[in-house]
Structure 1
């Protein structure tokens, strides 16, 4: 018998293990936690949910399981960002498509008014920006500083992004 076999974990430790499993893409373990009754919408100190962690780290199978198990697709972290904002920043089109397919709000703003499209533009994710625009993202919605995704594209001056927004220089 190993020294850990008789160890019991408190609720906080179990939740941390669940969040770690989601971040690491351990889909089977995430499924076991959910089957054992853990809420798929728990959060850590930064407000990250298992869905946000799995999506941001590119674990499509884990994201799918969480969505199918009742994870709230638009539950924000402590800064107001959703899973879609995280994948827009990273440029992960397959997971963005999955989130949108499960009803993610394409223009969900964070606490400073930045939308997933703005993150895609800010980080040069042209294919992601194209996909978000196709899903109905508003290129002219303003953030808290009065900037739109279109304004950000113009400021960045990236030819592909300018073309996407129909901006000529």
Structure 2
């Protein structure tokens, strides 16, 4: 939504990045779109997750943000926190129903991201929540293969 020269949706993205709850509340009251995507396809939820704004993440989910929404590459908020390593946000997304086995454009999953980037505590959270270790990406690689490629021995131990 746009009012004069102000694009409420772009301001919502900025407020999510900064964790400005009051600003987000006001923007939503003025019709800003929770599922708006910026030029890279990032939604306010994805931006809040990527910038470690747990209160903003909770606020957006409370107001109906799609926990499984994707950017233009098919990456979800959960995949983003697996890349960044934000365990508390990963747990929040899991608790709010994030699809543990959703695949991005190349078939990767959040579990694969966690193994690839050495986010082994998140790897454990995902496994405890029921993430599927047998899924393969478009190259035919599973999470074990990815952990081995990265020499992530701890992940290999966790995976069993």
TM bracket, shorter-chain basis? over 0.9
* 2:51 is the counterpart of 1:57: yes
- Paired residue for 1:71? 65
* 2:42 is the counterpart of 1:44: no
- Paired residue for 1:95? 89
Residue among 78, 95, 99 paired with 1:84:
78
- Paired residue for 1:9? 4
Unmatched runs of 5 consecutive residues or more in structure 1: 1-7
- Paired residue for 1:20? 14
Deviation at 1:67, TM superposition (A): 0.3
Q: How many residues align?
A: 158
* 2:124 is the counterpart of 1:165: no
Are the counterparts in 1 of residues 133 and 143 from structure 2 also a CA contact under 8 Å? yes
Residue among 127, 130, 137 paired with 1:133:
127
Alpha-carbon separation, structure 2, partners of 1:155 and 1:14: 43
- Paired residue for 2:148? 154
- Paired residue for 1:143? 137
Q: Find the structure with the greater CA-based Rg.
A: 1
Q: Which runs of 4+ in 1 moved over 4 A?
A: none
Are the counterparts in 2 of residues 120 and 128 from structure 1 also a CA contact under 8 Å? yes
Are the counterparts in 1 of residues 115 and 152 from structure 2 also a CA contact under 8 Å? no
* Secondary structure of residue in 2 paired with 1:53: helix
Are the counterparts in 1 of residues 9 and 33 from structure 2 also a CA contact under 8 Å? no
Q: CA RMSD in A?
A: 1.3
